[in-house]
Amino acid sequence: MSSTQPADGAAAAPSASDNSLPAPPREYWQPQAFTTLEEDDKRLDKLDGFTLVHMTNRMGAVGARLGKGSHGVVYSCIKDTEPDKLVAMKVMRKDAEYNTLPVESETIRYLANREHLYPGWEHTARMITEFRRLSDDVFVTWAIALEYCDTNLDSLSNFNSPWLYENTGSFGLPVPLTKIIMSGILKGLDFLSSCGVVHRDIKPDNVLINYWPPMAKLTDFGLSTRVDQQIVTYYDTLAHCGHIAYRPPEVVRRFGQRSPVVDIWGAGRCLAYMITGFHLSFARNETDDWFDSLDGWMTLSPGFKFTVRRMAPDSWPVAGEFDLLFGFETPENRGAIHLLRDLLQFRPDCRISPAWALGYGFVKDAAEHEDAAWRWLRSMLMNRPPPRMQDEGWKQWLNISPRR
């Protein structure tokens, strides 16, 4: 992790009061004729009241597709009645094995109805509207319009890692920015937990980032569930539905239950990602050994590793300082490691809650670092990535944002 100020030689960072990005010329985003889209994207002409726009990113690459996952594709659009306001339009993929949009829209509406009951709702992505169509005599959601955010945690780190390493000597995000993002993740999870919702897929791709004011929002609730929800489908039985690299150990051992503790593990992995700039586990599929994939970043003592691989979670001991060793611990990030160790407790019932985690010193003073986080963001945004990244720069959407 980096110091609290941009390094010497970095782009001059404007003052915190200068919180506006340069106004983009109109060619940075223009309405696009639907006939020029790929065949799979032509369904967008059925989105009444919204117009697709092509964005130009910092590399000069143009495209309307902001991202693509296993279940949906996200496009940049404008609302016809508010042409200066961008929205993120998420559309179900034609080849998706499972349509997650009905669950996502239902969960977001459920959370919106409880915004006045618990704090932290502003750290979850908001839905503007949804589009439904008739399928087997039932109206099914096939597209949802979400609030537009500037980037996500994965893109923010990937796109700026070379610049960060050149200026700070670390691929990880600066401390002030890490504090702000981690605080937002925990506040969002605290709100979900209060509402009885389990996200089940917390990872850097699903953490959205706004530049000003700097803040994090949780998104992609298509695999979420409620603790009290009746089991109807196979997905309802799963404790975690995300990538194997972000699964908690009890789920890897097939002992997991639908509980907010799986989201706490994901939050800890996100914190480790922000500290190092790398994912803790390199497991890619079910055949990879999840425990061996941790070696190097998070090392388990032989006795502790033997126990968690062969016994049920309720028999696992609490991981002590010598049971769980982090290969990236330094005096500078000791406060973050203290929080990380309690978020990544292997025994599920010993992981701290989001509300408890917010009391840790590393994130407790996050609001005081907002200006410093903004200065770091401005410095990163003013720098082009090195030439070796420009060929793939179109994948990293750090767009100039008009009014949200």
Q: Which residues are annotated as a binding site?
A: 90
CA distances from 253 to 11, 256, 318 (A): 47, 8, 17
Query: Which amino acid type is present at position 401?
Result: S
Q: Of the candidates 323, 173, 341, 331, which has an alpha carbon nearest to the alpha carbon of residue 268?
A: 341
Q: Rounded to the nearest 10 degrees, how much is the dihedral formed by the CA atoms of 153, 157, 158, 163?
A: 150
Q: Is 354 exposed, middle or buried (CB count within 10 Å of its CB: 0-12, 13-18, 19+)?
A: buried
Angle between helix 370-381 and 175-194 (nearest 10): 120
Given a contact cutoff of 8 angstroms between Cβ atoms, the answer to whether 258 and 227 are in contact is: yes
Q: Quick check: bond before 331 cis, omega within 30?
A: no
**What is the Cα Rg of the chain in Å?**
21
From the CB of residue 182, how many other CB atoms can be counted at a distance below 10 Å?
A: 29
Annotated binding-site ranges for ATP? 90
